[in-house]
Structure 1
Amino acid sequence: MTIDCSLTIVGSINADITATTSRLPAAGETIGGGRLSRSPGGKGANQAAAAARLGARTRMIGAVGADAEGQAMLQALRTAGVDVSDIAEVDAETGTALIIVDAAGENQIAVCEGANALVGLDGVEFAKNEAVLTQLEISMDLITELADRVPGFLAVNAAPAQPLPAEVVDRADLLIVNETEYSLLPQLQEAKLVAVTYGARGSALVARGTQIAFAEAAPAIPVSTVGAGDAFCAALTIGLRSGLGPEAALQAANAVGSAAVEDISAQPEFDRFETYLPGRERPGRLESDEPE
């Protein structure tokens, strides 16, 4: 199978500041002994980097500030193979995410939206054969505008969970959520197609409230779950748009997500999408990806 997918990501771009600790702190608790790292992130940028590395023709629509962090985030996307010509430089600080990751790969995240609040579609055109993937780290007004303007396939990663306008639910060709988000958004029972992720248990596709496919998760040794959902979103969109059936698309997306949790970065390297297809031997983790 050869991937032939044009994908535009509309979403957030963040500089991630991550503390890796033995466990997550309780409310009001201080934990010492952490390791600090800085890396590119943001749900939109993570999805764009994953899509490009998996082999899709990928562009991103977003915004960064006129600061060093913004330039670093743009360079990271260019390095991944993303077209950044529609990313605006605005009069605001680049978005920032403060992340704590524990020894099991679980996390807590606080996001400061910064430039992401100013993402717009002025001068942007969408082609009929172009898939668009977005998330909820940008304004809901912009999501609603996408529902009206995108002529082709529209996928919405409804995270962080918040109620969606009815026109977005009705228009979206694919909505992607985790099991907690799915339980918080009962309106998704009426959606055309919803992908629900269950962590280490796998993922499912649900059409208007009825499960039509399920795939078990690929085995993984978790290091960080920060970018795994974003990688899954990119891979599932690519798989469905490339003609895979529901179960095969889920299996491939699960394999990509499992590869992502074995890397500390929110924007890890990936092999091309074809290597994650069912029946293929899963690529092994590089020695450089091993946790210290």
Structure 2
Amino acid sequence: MPTTSPVPDVPLVVVGSANVDLVVRVERRPLPGETVRGGDLAVHPGGKGANQAVAAARLGGRVTLLAQIGDDPHGELITRALRDADVDFPELPHRDRPTGTAMIVVGPEGDNSIVVSPGANARLSPRDIAEHRERLFAARVLSLQLEIPLATVTAAVRAAGPGTRVVLNPSPPADLPTEVLTRCDPLVLNQHEARYLSGSDATPEAAAEALLTRGPRSVVITLGAEGALVAEGDGTITRVPGVRVPVVDTTGAGDAFTAALAWRLSEGEGIVAAVRYAVRIGAEAVSATGAQSLSPRGRAIAAAGADGS
């Protein structure tokens, strides 16, 4: 009698971007046509997909990342960072594009402005997704962002199994197909993205309610220092308070939040409890420099468990 190969246990698959971040701190941002003096250039691995994969792995998750990098020194830097974090990174064929790059200017309060050059991220294709369809079908959670082609995001959602929970951060914001929106559980946005996609400038609660009518099974809106809002499909809305910490660099804080949320969901935790944990991790991420940094206290929270005790 023929035997059937067991379906692999794949807790969390991230499909997304991998960039190198070029970071300069300034006392103030330049006006159009103006030059200002900045600090030393810092080079960090980044990209929303890689950020989320590394953060989830450092928090204790078993993570696979599907991403495209260039055959260049920046790609080598990203690969080392992923390997060091124990992220499963099946290298896809290199394309004739450089590794994606983000140019980040960090102000004195830790806030940032970012310009992204997609590079190889633009070549992550539905064909790449098809090559790893089994992983996606078996995943407990699939985490996605929009720094890769929308057609690839759609292909990944189509490849996800019926039991796979899809977590999507629509950043940078774009109009999403109905078949993608209806699989999101949750759709994770910041307030700017929520206003863009909902068309509502009212309260976060109103934006969440408007977004739910578009089809997501749940919505999470991050509120910066104020925490986050959870809107579930049954209409329940919960505010999760924020955690006050000294702000050093906000780069990657949203990715740390989404990574923590996706990891806890892959462990079977309820969405409100997962968001409470993610708020703590997101807050701690701003107290260290670099998009893939997690402070010692953040690591302690991860080790202590979801309640942070």
**Partner SS, residue 281 of structure 2:** helix
Equivalent in the alignment of 1:101: 106
Equivalent in the alignment of 1:286: none
Structure 2 residue 247 is the aligned partner of structure 1 residue 198: no
Equivalent in the alignment of 1:53: 58
* Residues paired across the two proteins, number: 277
1:74-115 deviation digits (Å, cap 9, x = unpaired): 111111110112444222100000000011110000000000
8 Å contact from structure 2 (residues 13, 139) kept in 1: no
- Range moving further from structure 2, 13-22 or 206-215: 206-215
Flag the 1:262–1:279 CA change in 2: closer, same or farther, 3 A: closer
**Structure 1: 5+ residue stretches without partners:** 281-292
**Partner SS, residue 180 of structure 2:** helix
Equivalent in the alignment of 1:159: 171
Q: Aligned equivalents of 1:262 and 1:107: distance in 2?
A: 14
1:4-26 deviation digits (Å, cap 9, x = unpaired): 98111100000110111112233
8 Å contact from structure 2 (residues 165, 183) kept in 1: no
- C-alpha deviation, 1:153, in angstroms: 1.3
RMSD: 1.9
Structure 2 residue 149 is the aligned partner of structure 1 residue 139: yes
Alignment of 1:249-260 (within 5 A): 249-260=274-285
- Range moving further from structure 2, 21-30 or 9-18: 21-30
- Range moving further from structure 2, 269-278 or 221-230: 269-278
| Equivalent in 189, 192, 213 of residue 238 of structure 2 | 213
Structure 2 residue 211 is the aligned partner of structure 1 residue 188: yes
**Structure 2: 5+ residue stretches without partners:** 1-8, 199-209
Equivalent in the alignment of 1:122: 130
8 Å contact from structure 1 (residues 8, 132) kept in 2: yes
Alignment of 1:19-30 (within 5 A): 19-30=24-35
- C-alpha deviation, 1:64, in angstroms: 0.6
Structure 2 residue 75 is the aligned partner of structure 1 residue 85: no
Q: Aligned equivalents of 2:221 and 2:60: distance in 1?
A: 24
- C-alpha deviation, 1:42, in angstroms: 0.4
The AA in structure 2 aligned to 1:143 is V
Q: Aligned equivalents of 2:187 and 2:299: distance in 1?
A: 25
Flag the 1:30–1:211 CA change in 2: closer, same or farther, 3 A: farther
8 Å contact from structure 2 (residues 21, 43) kept in 1: yes
Q: Aligned equivalents of 1:122 and 1:257: distance in 2?
A: 32
Q: Aligned equivalents of 2:70 and 2:280: distance in 1?
A: 34
Q: Aligned equivalents of 2:44 and 2:30: distance in 1?
A: 22
Equivalent in the alignment of 1:283: none
Q: Aligned equivalents of 1:99 and 1:278: distance in 2?
A: 33
Equivalent in the alignment of 1:65: 70
Structure in which a larger fraction of residues adopt strand: 1
- C-alpha deviation, 1:148, in angstroms: 1.1
Structure 2 residue 258 is the aligned partner of structure 1 residue 230: no
